[in-house]
Chains A and B, each alone.
Chain A
Amino acid sequence: SQQGEEDPQALSIQEGENATMNCSYKTSINNLQWYRQNSGRGLVHLILIRSNEREKHSGRLRVTLDTSKKSSSLLITASRAADTASYFCATVSMKAGTALIFGKGTTLSVSS
């Protein structure tokens, strides 16, 4: 079963704009990760935020985590056409070892 939901399901923006995706989850977590997937191929790890962290940055990516609301957001600044992909949040449960539990994803389309 899916752990949570990403919102929105689809997002279309212009190059240079910022893209924000949200993720909600259901159970207590050890950490939360964001992955990108291009055209139904393998997933690429973007960033990991631990349950005791509130915000993390990596290049043009900013992730926040609110464990009280069981939610996270991914911000991509100054989007490029190459950012066009599906983005998934994945949680690592405190009970389920290191298995990743994914949401359904947000499909981002960046047009030039």
Chain B
Amino acid sequence: ETGVTQSPTHLIKTRGQQVTLRCSSQSGHNTVSWYQQALGQGPQFIFQYYREEENGRGNFPPRFSGLQFPNYSSELNVNALELDDSALYLCASSSLAGGNEQFFGPGTRLTVL
């Protein structure tokens, strides 16, 4: 069974640029969620995709957008990067039949200069 993977591991961007982060779900999972974790804080829910449709969104502006593909892999896109977007971005996959337990990837560390 393959776990959740994320790429890249680290990324450095400058303010105003755009970034795409990628996530491959665990085998058999049809739901993917994205979280932003600032230093010293708990993860904050960005949005969730279920079978390629957005299935819930947290308190993040529209410049945070996502996609889920037929193989259930996913992308997180952030436009017009701001300094406060510097954080660890975590992807988690789950099966709605699995009692809501989520399986997290190792994260992508984004630094915005």
Chain B contact patch, size range: 20 to 34
B43 touches A41 (CB 8 A): no
Select which of B39, B90, B100 is within 8 A of A43 by beta carbon.
B90
> When chains A and B are docked, how far (Å) is the Cα of A90 from the Cα of B35?
12
> When chains A and B are docked, how far (Å) is the Cα of A41 from the Cα of B109?
9
Chain A contact patch, size range: 20 to 34
Q: List CB contacts (< 8 Å) of B25-40 with chain A.
A: 31, 33, 35, 37, 39-40
A40 touches B42 (CB 8 A): no
Select which of A41, A42, A48, A98 is within 8 A of B48 by beta carbon.
A98
A88 touches B48 (CB 8 A): no
B42 touches A48 (CB 8 A): no
Q: List CB contacts (< 8 Å) of A72-112 with chain B.
A: 88, 90, 92, 96-105
B99 at the interface (CB under 8 A from A): yes
B44 at the interface (CB under 8 A from A): yes
> When chains A and B are docked, how far (Å) is the Cα of A31 from the Cα of B100?
8
Which single residue of chain A is at the shortest CB-CB distance from B6? Answer: A42
> When chains A and B are docked, how far (Å) is the Cα of A40 from the Cα of B104?
12
A43 touches B96 (CB 8 A): no
B41 at the interface (CB under 8 A from A): yes
Q: List 12 A-B contacts (CB under 8 A).
A: A31-B100, A40-B109, A45-B103, A48-B101, A97-B48, A97-B55, A98-B56, A98-B94, A98-B100, A98-B102, A104-B40, A105-B42
Nearest 5 pairs between A and B by C-beta? Answer: A102-B42, A42-B104, A43-B104, A42-B106, A99-B45
A residues engaging B (CB < 8 A)? Answer: 1-2, 30-31, 33, 35, 40-45, 48, 88, 90, 92, 96-105
